[in-house]
């Protein structure tokens, strides 16, 4: 399996829009891995994980073709992950197609938002629930409950398996609640993509991980055997509010065996 990180920034991206923060200024001056578009990923060139406001630019930068995607899977409805208007371009009159070439998977909040926005459009939308696996092509996808958002939405992280390899895509989650920790018992991951939104800055907000929480979650997954010696661990969803440049994140995370994610990184496992 290959996971291709198309975006690795938090909600406001880096450089953050309307920002003169140190990290934003550094990214403007230096470019490269410090520039982060809104978080998104692609599995095997086939399964699109989230469809955010930077989708068009990510497609051009990575020279992708969105008609290759057989599914768009949403983790939750925050605007940096769920740009509902981007779905319409798959269909007539923006294209000649009467039906979209992909299935949309998302929680009740996502499904209802699509139904409100496009009540008459022939989009194939499948509702997902945490801890209820579903199949798509050769993949089994198991959503697990994230600790993120208002509590009124079933915000999810996604375990994607093709029968040989298993990925946990964990963007936008605080430290998991007990039900999620219990569910993870017995899993063995080949790749973990885990958010580190708050970087070096500790905040009272529990819906995202700072660096210390990131290391705590990773240590617990290691103690459970979910993450083991062969697991590739990559960070994502970095915010300028975390006050960490790419190089600073690397210095902090390399000692614990983590690759700091960046836009365009492909991880094979």
Q: Closer to Zn ion at the Cβ: 54 or 190? A: 54
Within 10 A of 115 (CB to CB), how many other CB atoms are there? 13
Q: Establish if 172 lies at the interface with Zn ion (CB under 5 A).
A: yes
| Site stretch for Zn ion (CB under 5 A), options 135-143, 158-166, 168-176, 209-217 | 168-176
Q: Closer to Zn ion at the Cβ: 10 or 161? A: 10
Instruction: Give the C-alpha separation, 8 to 31, whole Å.
Output: 14
- For residue 24, the minimal CB distance to Zn ion (Å) is 17
User: Residue 167's beta-bridge partner residues?
Assistant: 160, 191
Residue number of the CB closest to Zn ion reads 80
Instruction: Give the C-alpha separation, 178 to 92, whole Å.
Output: 45
Q: Closer to Zn ion at the Cβ: 172 or 210? A: 172
**What is residue 230's DSSP assignment?**
T
Q: Closer to Zn ion at the Cβ: 37 or 231? A: 37
Q: Closer to Zn ion at the Cβ: 80 or 210? A: 80
- For residue 182, the minimal CB distance to Zn ion (Å) is 25
| Site stretch for Zn ion (CB under 5 A), options 24-32, 136-144, 164-172, 261-269 | 164-172
| Site stretch for Zn ion (CB under 5 A), options 75-83, 180-188, 208-216, 225-233 | 75-83
Closest CA to 265 of 24, 15, 40: 40
User: How many residues bind to Zn ion according to rule CB under 5 A?
Assistant: 2
Instruction: Give the C-alpha separation, 175 to 147, whole Å.
Output: 6
Q: Of residues 29-68, which lie at the interface with Zn ion (CB under 5 A)?
A: none
Terminal C-alpha separation, the chain: 6
Q: Closer to Zn ion at the Cβ: 180 or 197? A: 197
Instruction: Give the C-alpha separation, 1 to 210, whole Å.
Output: 28
| Site stretch for Zn ion (CB under 5 A), options 19-27, 77-85, 208-216, 223-231 | 77-85
Q: How far is CA 241 from the centre of its chain?
A: 18
- For residue 140, the minimal CB distance to Zn ion (Å) is 25
Q: Of residues 194-253, which lie at the interface with Zn ion (CB under 5 A)?
A: none
Q: Which residues of 250-263 are buried (b: 16+ CB within 10 A; e: fewer)?
A: bebbeeeebebbbb
**Binder of Zn ion out of 34, 80, 190, 198 (CB under 5 A):** 80
Residue written as token pair 């836009």: 263
- For residue 161, the minimal CB distance to Zn ion (Å) is 24
Main-chain phi, psi angles of 101, to 5 degrees: -85, 10
Closest CA to 189 of 166, 206, 170: 166
Within 10 A of 109 (CB to CB), how many other CB atoms are there? 19
- For residue 52, the minimal CB distance to Zn ion (Å) is 8
Which residues contribute to the site for Zn ion (CB under 5 A)?
80, 172
């Amino acid at each position: 399996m290959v996971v291709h990180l198309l975006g690795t920034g938090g909600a406001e991206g880096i450089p953050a829009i309307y920002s003169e923060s140190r990290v934003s200024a550094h990214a403007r001056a230096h470019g490269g891995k410090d520039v982060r578009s809104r978080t998104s990923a692609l599995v095997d060139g086939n399964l699109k994980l989230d469809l955010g406001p930077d989708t068009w630019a990510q497609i051009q930068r990575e020279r992708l073709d969105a008609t290759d995607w057989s599914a768009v899977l949403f983790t939750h409805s925050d605007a940096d992950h769920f740009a509902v208007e981007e779905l319409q371009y798959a269909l007539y009159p923006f294209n000649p197609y009467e039906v979209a070439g992909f299935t949309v998977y998302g929680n009740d909040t996502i499904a209802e938002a699509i139904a409100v926005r496009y009540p008459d459009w022939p989009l194939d939308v499948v509702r997902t629930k945490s801890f209820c696996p579903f199949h798509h092509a050769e993949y089994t996808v198991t959503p697990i409950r994230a600790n993120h958002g208002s509590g009124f939405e079933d915000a999810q992280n996604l375990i994607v398996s093709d029968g040989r390899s298993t990925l946990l895509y964990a963007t936008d989650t605080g430290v998991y609640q007990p039900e999620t920790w219990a569910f993870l018992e017995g899993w063995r991951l080949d790749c973990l993509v885990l958010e580190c939104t708050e970087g070096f800055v500790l905040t009272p907000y529990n819906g995202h991980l700072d660096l210390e929480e990131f290391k705590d979650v990773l240590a617990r997954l290691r103690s459970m055997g979910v993450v083991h010696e062969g697991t590739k661990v990559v960070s994502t969803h970095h915010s300028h509010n975390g006050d960490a440049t790419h190089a600073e994140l690397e210095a902090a995370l390399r000692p614990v065996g983590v690759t700091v994610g960046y836009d365009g990184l492909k991880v094979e496992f």
